[in-house]
Structure 1
Amino acid sequence: MYSSVVSLLTDSGDTKDDLRLPTDDNLLTQIKDGFAEGKDLIVSVMSAMGEEQICGLKDIGPK
């Protein structure tokens, strides 16, 4: 089904493969649904005290 870790493309074009899916159910549902629909998504990542997590999502439309 879904992995608990996501692979993201950074602004610089590198991949980031060490972020977990968010625990917020609403945000998690938006990410899963957007991915299933083949949409391009931009996620916001917050970093604090050596930890990073996905904290926001923007839908930029279909691929």
Structure 2
Amino acid sequence: MAPSREANPLPADEAKPAEEGGFFVHPELNGEPAERSVSALVAWAAPPDAEPKKRDQGTDG
């Protein structure tokens, strides 16, 4: 095995949590509607008064 591969092994695939079963990162690639995306599941599960998370833009300099 190459030294770089030994130093940076790829993790094995992990099983999805049960509540994410049937949802996809890219549902359109699996012939599924957008409502079956993991991001739609997360949005659906968020409390109604929760504000969307904002990305930290950082600073230039």
The reply to whether TM is greater than 0.5 is: no
Q: Give the structure, 1 or 2, with the largest relative contact order (CA under 8 Å, sep 6 or more).
A: 1
Q: Could you say which structure has the larger radius of gyration? A: 2
Shorter-chain TM band: under 0.3
Structure (1 or 2) with the greater helix fraction: 2
State the TM-score, normalized to the length of structure 2. Answer: 0.20
